[in-house]
Amino acid sequence: MQGVAILGSTGSIGTQALEVIQRFPDRFRVVALAAGRRVEVLAEQVRRFRPELVAVAGPEEARRLRELLGSGPEPEILTGEEGLAAVATAPGAEAVLTAVVGTVGLQPTLAAIQAGKRILLANKETLVAAGELVMREAARHRVPIIPVDSEHSALFQCLQGHPREGVARLILTASGGPFRGWKRADLERATVEMALRHPRWRMGPKVTVDSATLMNKALEMIEARWLFDIPIDRIGVVVHPQSIVHSLVEFQDGSLLAQLGATDMRLPIQYALSYPERLPGPLPSLDLVALGSLTFEAVDEVTFPSLNYARAAVTMGGTMPAVLNAANEVAVRRFLSGAIPLTGIYRIVEGVMAAHTPVPEPDLEAILAADRWARQVAEAFPA
């Protein structure tokens, strides 16, 4: 029986992880859940999974949660950063699924690593902002980091049993998002509603907007760079609108290994939970004949400049990726609130990166300081 703690249990990944866990009640046990403000959903999860420990955003959410639970289960309820850290290090948890969105996931992930927990990583900002630091800590504590993101899960699966020296290139696939085929001038007119209508994946609003700008793929390049210790110039991206091939590894002999599967996050979530074992999946077999064809095309980097930001940020190194990530997070929030156009996200990210002098080999303090600085500048940046 594997004890699991989930950071971000009421989000898209968190709820799907609980769906997976529910199908294997004799293998996984939920010991701790952390959520933000969706207290009603959390109360339902607490009733169903009976964790010993729960964390919410603040005292008001804690009060409402107690009220909703009434005379039902009585987990320990903590709040804020302290709550997140407690869930990340919950004594009964062997694995911690980090599914919160944004840089807020960084410190609890580090705490979980230091507590020796197996990390099921769904929070990509952690590796983007602090990849070098996080991977170093994971190695020091001999903690495996198992990716949940579909692309990285695919790469992780394709790399099983292959010495790293034989790898020539990683190829991430991108669906292309809702604006595939658009030109820059059209993109200026993209609305929030259009950006949130993702053609393939069901995901939260931040990731969905990141998919529309291809910033998601930029963050994933940086994530892959650290997860698999491959230089950024050997990480490519190809648009694959069907989202069936989740990514590929090219080896030195010219062989390509790909991982294919239905477009459903429950599959990589389940693999991260059961790794290295395989458990029965929730879906019927993928019907290749019904799919008919799988197509691939180049990324239009003139219209969607995000991938270049990733290359530049990793090449400049130090705190630059953290700045890219923080500026993007603020820019996405400004876009979702209706304050700026979609392309304003590019202007903000580019502008904030241009204004930053990266601190080399940053420690956690330096990363968090760069993150705060970038947020401030991005908040006021004309877009």
Q: Euclidean distance between the first and final Cα of the chain, in Å?
A: 51
- What 3-state DSSP class applies to 28? strand
Instruction: Pick the closer one to Mg ion by CB: 12 or 150.
Output: 150
329 is an interface residue for Mg ion by CB under 5 A? no
CB-based contact 239:298 (threshold 8 Å): yes
125 is an interface residue for Mg ion by CB under 5 A? no
Instruction: Pick the closer one to Mg ion by CB: 61 or 151.
Output: 151
We find the least distance from the C-beta atom of residue 230 to Mg ion, in angstroms, to be 17
10 Å CB burial of residue 74 (0-12, 13-18, 19+) is exposed
We find the least distance from the C-beta atom of residue 149 to Mg ion, in angstroms, to be 4
By CB under 5 A, the residues from 102 to 121 that bind Mg ion are none
**Helices of type H across 179-277:** 184-187, 192-195, 205-213, 215-227, 266-274
Instruction: Pick the closer one to Mg ion by CB: 81 or 297.
Output: 297
Residue 276: cis peptide before it, omega within 30 degrees of 0: yes
We find the least distance from the C-beta atom of residue 325 to Mg ion, in angstroms, to be 15
By CB under 5 A, the residues from 151 to 170 that bind Mg ion are 151
- CB-based closest residue to Mg ion: 149
What is the distance between the alpha carbons of residues 109 and 375, in angstroms, rounded to a whole number? 21
Choose the stretch contacting Mg ion; rule: CB under 5 A; options: 7-15, 28-36, 105-113, 148-156: 148-156
We find the least distance from the C-beta atom of residue 48 to Mg ion, in angstroms, to be 28
CB-based contact 128:325 (threshold 8 Å): yes
Q: Which residue has the tokens 């008001």?
A: 60
Instruction: Pick the closer one to Mg ion by CB: 150 or 208.
Output: 150
Sign of torsion over alpha carbons 327, 156, 282, 14: negative
Choose the stretch contacting Mg ion; rule: CB under 5 A; options: 132-140, 149-157, 162-170, 337-345: 149-157
- What 3-state DSSP class applies to 295? coil
Question: What residues are paired with 237 via a beta bridge?
Answer: 172
Instruction: Pick the closer one to Mg ion by CB: 151 or 250.
Output: 151
149 is an interface residue for Mg ion by CB under 5 A? yes
Choose the stretch contacting Mg ion; rule: CB under 5 A; options: 150-158, 162-170, 184-192, 231-239: 150-158
From residue 190 to residue 229, what is the string marking binding to Mg ion with x (rule CB under 5 A)? ----------------------------------------
We find the least distance from the C-beta atom of residue 158 to Mg ion, in angstroms, to be 15
Sign of torsion over alpha carbons 193, 246, 256, 230: positive
Residue type for position 81 = E
Q: Using CB under 5 A as the criterion, which residues of the chain lie in contact with Mg ion when the complex forms?
A: 149-151
